[in-house]
A and B are shown apart, each in its own frame.
Chain A
Amino acid sequence: MDTAVTAKKKWWSGGHSPFNVSYGKLMMWYFLMSDVFTFGALLISYGTIRFMSPSWPDPNAVFKSFPLMGHADLPLVFVSLMTFILIMSSVTMVLAVHAGHMRDRKAVAKWLTWTIIGGSAFLACQAWEWTHLFHEGAWWGKNPFLNVDGTQASTNFTNFFFTITGFHGLHVTSGVVLNIVILANVLKGTYEERGHYEMVEKVGLYWHFVDLVWVFVFTCFYLL
């Protein structure tokens, strides 16, 4: 692989990756592409059902609670906090990748730890939100919230909300587990021995993808 990338380089003539990345990283990108279409299908089906419904519950009337604030009317505040936590954990992840490039083992371990804490905090928030909604009577097949126009809403709203945020939460959970595995390897010195921290990059790609999906979930369920 030439260090200088020139326009005339023949990427498809063999002897090197035509994508200029390792096999593992390319496959992570391909996996993420498949996941993009999975989440895309879920969100588009949600959009289709929402477009064919005469009326729909107002997200600001549903997601308006904050822990320990009782019945205070605080739309968007809690989910903004969740969004901030996830963006922050994406930043600590990219700092871990950066430290890996610098071969700074201690810094990689530090930033990975912060990423794990951020991911866990996000999951804790989601657990609280789900529990709160459950106590309000919302679950798959149960929707206590009225439509904006005051009519009885179908269960489509809660079904899509729990399925899609649940599927995203599952991805965050896998991300946290992967990060813990990677952190253990960093602490053991596996990557120091291997000579590079590319594994941190691959898990980093996955983690940023989880953040990316949340950006869309946040817009589709809480803003629109």
Chain B
Amino acid sequence: MAHTHTEAVHEEHVHDASTKGIWKTFWILLVITIIEVGLAFLHLETGIPPKWLLNSVFVGLTVLKAFFIVAEFMHLRNEIRNLIMTILIPLLLFVWFIIAFLADGDSWKNMRKNLSPGTPAPVEKVKVTNEEAHH
């Protein structure tokens, strides 16, 4: 292990001495955040863009920010493929987590709305279709 360390350090000495890339990432993150806050204020003042579009943009920009933090600040971009895949592939589970759980939440909301006391709409509909079937 000690052997590995010394050589790893030796490799890093060859690294670029400039901090340009770091500051570039900082400006990207800052600009994205400013865009997010700006869009939020635009929506508060004018109601444009519509909420669903605004939220999609927010989620997209958040993932973009996450990409820059992980790739640049955490140097994952410069690691070898084995490590990158070890980190990224398990994250695919989140695709299912998010779709499944949010859909479940939405379904609960609809059931609470449609089945709460004093909500006759669906029952009537069923009756009408039954009567039509009898004729």
Roughly how many angstroms separate A52 CA and B113 CA in the complex, as a whole number? 10
Cβ of A21: which chain B residues have Cβ within 8 Å of it? 79, 83
Q: How far is the CB of A27 from chain B (nearest CB, A)?
A: 12
Interface size class of A (residues with CB under 8 A): 35 or more
Asked, given contacts A94-B73, A216-B66, A223-B58, whether A16 binds B4 with beta carbons under 8 Å apart, the answer is yes
Q: Does A168 contact B (CB under 8 A)?
A: no
> Would you give the shortest CB distance from B110 to chain A, in whole angstroms?
9
The answer to whether B123 has its CB under 8 Å from any CB of chain A is no
Main SS class of interface, B: helix
Q: Collect the chain A residues with CB atoms within 8 Å of residue B109's CB.
A: 51-54
Question: How far apart are the CA atoms of A90 and B30 in the complex, in Å?
Answer: 12
Once the chains bind, are B9 and A219 in contact (CB under 8 Å)? no
Contact A212 B70 (CB under 8 A): yes
A216 CB to nearest B CB, Å: 6
Known contacts A76-B41, A101-B13, A204-B73; 12 additional CB pairs below 8 A are A3-B11, A11-B82, A19-B83, A20-B79, A20-B80, A22-B4, A22-B5, A33-B90, A47-B102, A52-B105, A215-B66, A219-B62
Among A44, A90, A224, the residue within 8 A (CB) of B58 is: A224
Cβ contacts A112-125/B at 8 Å (1 or 0 each): 00000000000000
A44 to B97 alpha-carbon distance, docked (Å): 8
15 contacts between A and B (CB under 8 A): A11-B82, A19-B80, A19-B82, A22-B4, A36-B91, A40-B94, A47-B101, A90-B73, A101-B12, A195-B6, A195-B9, A212-B70, A215-B65, A223-B58, A224-B58
Bits for A33-62, please: 1 = Cβ < 8 Å to B, else 0.
100100010001101111111100000100
Is B69 touching A76 in the complex (CB atoms < 8 A)? no
